A and B are shown apart, each in its own frame.
Chain A
Amino acid sequence: MKSLEELRAIRERMQSQVSMRAEDHSHTRVVVGMATCGIASGARPVLTKLSTLVQERNLTDKISVTQTGCIGLCQYEPIVEVMEPGKQKITYIKMTPEKAEEVLERHLVGGHVVEEYTLSGADIK
C-alpha cells in the first residue's frame, strides 16, 4: 500500500457489499414479490437488476433490496414495493429490469414517483 488513495479505492469497491450487512431503521426498503407467480412472470431478473444497481451506485447504506412472498395481486406481477421511512408505500406493477432501472433513477435517486408504473395513480396521495 503506497498511498491512502489506493486504500480508499479498495474501500469504495468493497463498501457497497459490506454495508449491505447493516441494520438501520432509516433504510428505504425495496421489496420484490418472489412467490411462484412473481418468479413465473419474471421477478428474478428484476430483483437482481435492482440489487446490482443499488450496489453499483453505493446506495446500500440507504436502500435495501429484499424479496417477499405473494403480495396477492398475481395478475400484476412482477410487483415491486418501495417503502420509504415515514412515507406511504408505493406499489409498482408489471415490472421489467428496464422499468426497474427507471424507478431507481427517478424515484429512489430523484425522489419522484414514477406514476405511470404504479398500481393506480389515483391511490397516491
Chain B
Amino acid sequence: MYRSHVLVCGGTGCTSSGSQQIMEALKAEIEKNGLTEEVSVVQTGCHGLCALGPIMIIYPDATFYSMVKVEDIPEIVAEHLLKGRVVTRLLYNETVTPAGSVKALIDTDFYKKQHRIALRNCGIINPEVIEEYIGTGGYEALGKVLTEMTPDDVIQCLLDSGLRGRGGGGFPTGLKWKLARQNDADQKYVCCNADEGDPGAFMDRSVLEGDPHAVLEAMAIAGYAIGASQGYIYVRAEYPIAVERLRIAINQAREMELLGNNIFGSDFSFDIDLRLGAGAFVCGEETALMTSIEGNRGEPRPRPPFPAQKGLFGKPTILNNVETYANIPQIILHGAEWFASMGTEKSKGTKVFALGGKIHNTGLVEIPMGTTLREVIEEIGGGIPNGKKFKAAQTGGPSGGCIPAEHFDIPIDYDNLISIGSMMGSGGLIVMDEDDCMVDIAKFFLEFTVEESCGKCTPCRVGTKRMLEILTKITKGQATMEDLDKLEELCYYIKNNSLCGLGQTAPNPVLSTLRYFRDEYEAHIKEKRCPAGVCKALLSYRIDPDKCRGCTLCARNCPNNAISGTVRNPHVIDQDKCIKCGACMEKCKFGAIYKK
C-alpha cells in the first residue's frame, strides 16, 4: 500500500521533453530517502497540457507540477514527499490563486469545461498495467455484453446513444455495425483506424498511449456485435510509444484471457493483431487501409461495395476510429441515455481536440459537443499569445476548412461545422492569428495533398498539382484574376470526380479560405501585396532613415551583404541582393526596419 502516487506523463510530448530521465531520477531519489515502500511512481499517458511538459502530478493531494527538470527532483522528494510542503515555484500557475493558495486542478480554466470520456483514463492510470485499467472499471463492459446482452442489444444501445464516427465523417456507429451484422459470412473482421495523419493532430496517439485497453475492449465488443473473431489495429509506425503500449496491452489481455477463446466462459472468441502503416496519408482512407492490411500497395478502391458488405479480404468488415472505440465501453456501462444526454441534437457526447498553432495551452482537450469555438480557444486554450488578434481556426486538416472570427460563437458539432464550409475532422484544431496568410495556409495543405496523393485517379493526381501551381503563382504575385477563376473551377471538378476521400476533400482548404478570405487572394493578385506579410516574393524589407541610427548591426548580420551605409548614417537595403530572411529586422534595436 502506497500513501502517495507520483504520476509522471509518459506521452510523446512529455517524453520528448525528458520525462523518462525524470522518472529515473525520481525513483533513485525516493530510494535514497527510504520512501520506496510509501511512494509509488506511475508512468501515465497524456494529461493534455503538453505545452507545460514534462508534467508530474502527486496524489492524493493532486498537486500539479509543470516543466519539471531533473534538477528539481531532490527538492520535490525532500520537501513534498517527505515533509508535505508543496514546491510552489513548480506549480502550474493556473492552480495558484491570487491569494497564494493552491486550487484544485479541476477548477482551472483548462480543465473545468472539459468532460473526459474517451480520455478518462489518460494521465490517470499506468497504460502498461492491465490491473489499473480493470481497477477503473475496465473490461466490465465486455463482461456485461458477453453475459447479459445479445448482439442486437449492443447495436441498439449504440444506435440509441447517437454515437457518430470520431474519425471525421460522422457516420452513425450503430448503423455501421448493424449493416455488417446483417451480412452473412464465414468470417468477418473488426478494424481500428489508428493511422492518424492530419498535420497537427494527435488525439488517437494519446488515447493509444494513455489507455490502450479501452480500444481493445471496444473492439472485442464490436466483434461480438457483428459476429467477427479477428480484429486488426492499423497504426502508424511513426508512433513508436503507441505501438509498444498496444503490444504490451494485447499480450496482457491474452494472458488474462480477455482476448482468445471462450472469453468470460462464453462461446465468443476474439483476437487482435497489429498492422503497422508505413506513413502514407491515404492509408487513413478506409478502403486504402484495408488494401494495405491485405499486403498490397495502399490504394483506395471504389465504393460500393462498402466495407460492411465486402471489406477486408472480401469479407464484411467494420472500421472505426480510435476515439470512437474509446467511447464504447463507457456507453455500454452507463447506458445510451447517459451518452445521449450530452451534446447537441444530432451530435452526442464529447469530442477530443488537439489544440495547436497560435494558442497558449497547446495540448489535448475533450469537450462536450456544442461547446463554442470561443470557449475552446479563449477559456480552455488560454487565448492567443502576444496579444495578437484571432484570424481563423483550421479544423479537419487537409480535408477541412477554416472557421473565421465571424463564426467564433458557433457551437461545435458535425452539422454546424459543415454548414460553414469546414468539418469536424478527426480533431486537429490549428489556431491562426493576424500574422498568418490564408493563401499560404491553403498552399501548405495543398503541398501536403500533392505529396500524399496515391496517384491512382487523375483528378487527384493531376488536379491537385495544377491547383498548387496556381497557388504558388498567387503567392509570388504572378497570377491573374482568370487564374483565380480557374482555381475555383478546378476545386469543384476535383471534388466531384476523385475516387476517394482524399481527393474529394483536398480542395476544401482552398474553397473555405476563398469563401472567407477572398480579399486576401485578391490583394495578392491585384495589388501584388501579402496583407499578413508572409509571402516572401511580395514583401520587401526597408529601413526608415529617420529611425536608423547607423549602428551597422544590420549590415553586419546580413548573410548576403545586402545592406550598405556608413557609421552614424542611415543604411540602405539593396533590394536585388536581399533574400528576405528578416535577420536585420530581428537585430535592429531601434525598430527602424519594416516590411512592406
Q: Which residues of A contact B (CB under 8 A)?
A: 1-4, 7-8, 10-11, 13-15, 17-23, 25, 31-36, 39, 44, 47-48, 50-52, 55-56, 60, 64-69
Asked if A14 and B134 make an inter-chain contact with CB atoms under 8 angstroms apart, the answer reads yes
B263 to chain A: which residues have CB within 8 Å? Answer: 1
Do residues A1 and B124 form an inter-chain contact, with CB atoms below 8 A? Answer: no
A-B Cβ contacts below 8 A, count = 110
Select which of A7, A18, A52 is within 8 A of B1 by beta carbon.
A52
Does B297 lie at the interface of the complex (its beta carbon under 8 Å from any beta carbon of A)?
Answer: no
**B3 & A65 in contact (Cβ 8 Å cutoff):** yes
Knowing A7-B140, A52-B1, the reply to whether A20 touches B131 (Cβ < 8 A) is: no
The answer to the question of B137 belonging to the interface, with a C-beta cut-off of 8 Å to chain A, is yes
State the main secondary structure of chain A at its contact with B.
helix
Given A34-B84, A60-B60, A68-B84, also A23-B135 (CB < 8 A) = no
Closest to A17 in B: B135
Contact indicator A34/B257 (Cβ below 8 Å): no
Find out whether the CB atom of B1 lies under 8 angstroms from the CB atom of A66.
no
Interface centre among B2, B60, B104, B137 (most CB of A within 10 A): B60
- Chain B interface size, as a band, is 35 or more
Expressed in whole angstroms, the Cα–Cα distance for A47 and B134 within the complex equals 28
The residue of chain A having its C-beta at the shortest distance from the C-beta of B140 within the complex is: A7
Task: Tell me if A20 and B59 are in contact (CB < 8 A).
Answer: yes
Q: List 15 A-B contacts (CB under 8 A).
A: A1-B263, A3-B264, A7-B139, A7-B143, A10-B131, A10-B135, A11-B134, A11-B140, A15-B135, A17-B135, A21-B59, A21-B125, A32-B84, A47-B3, A48-B38
Query: Which residue of the partner chain, among B7, B83, B125, B132, contacts A34 with CB atoms under 8 Å?
Result: B83
> Would you call B140 and A21 a contact (CB within 8 A)?
no
With A18-B135, A32-B84, A48-B38: A23-B7 Cβ-Cβ less than 8 Å: no
Q: Residues on B close to A: CB < 8 A?
A: 1-5, 7, 37-38, 57, 59-62, 82-85, 104-106, 124-125, 131-132, 134-137, 139-140, 143-144, 147, 256-258, 263-265
Top 7 closest A-B pairs, CB basis?
A67-B84, A14-B135, A51-B3, A64-B60, A18-B135, A52-B1, A34-B84
Cβ–Cβ contact B147 & A18, under 8 A:
no
In the bound complex, how far is the Cα of B4 from the Cα of A52, in angstroms? 10
How far, in Å, is A25 (CB) from chain B's closest CB? 7
Of the candidates B3, B5, B134, the one whose C-beta lies within 8 Å of that of A21 is: B5
In the complex the two chains form, is B84's CB within 8 Å of A18's CB? Answer: no
- Smallest CB-CB separation from B81: which chain A residue? A67
A10-B131, A34-B84, A64-B61 known; A17+B2 contact, CB < 8 A: yes
CB distance A65 to B60 under 8 Å? Answer: yes
Chain B residue with minimal CB distance to A64?
B60
**B4: chain A residues within 8 A (beta carbon):** 51
Q: Is A39 in contact with B83, judged by CB distance below 8 angstroms?
A: yes
Q: Do residues A51 and B83 form an inter-chain contact, with CB atoms below 8 A?
A: no
Complex Cα distance A24/B263, Å? 35
Instruction: Decide: B136 and A66 in contact? CB cutoff 8 A.
Output: no
Query: When the two chains form their complex, are residues A48 and B264 in contact, meaning their CB atoms are under 8 A apart?
Result: no
Q: Which residues of chain A come closer than 8 Å to B134, judged between CB atoms?
A: 7, 10-11, 14
By the criterion CB–CB under 8 Å, are A23 and B84 in contact?
A: no
CA distance A56 to B1 in the complex (A): 8
CA distance A11 to B59 in the complex (A): 20
Question: Given A2-B257, A67-B83, A51 and B59 touching (CB < 8 A)?
Answer: no
CB neighbours (8 Å) of B57 from chain A are 21
CA distance A2 to B125 in the complex (A): 24
Q: How far is the CB of B95 from chain A (nearest CB, A)?
A: 11
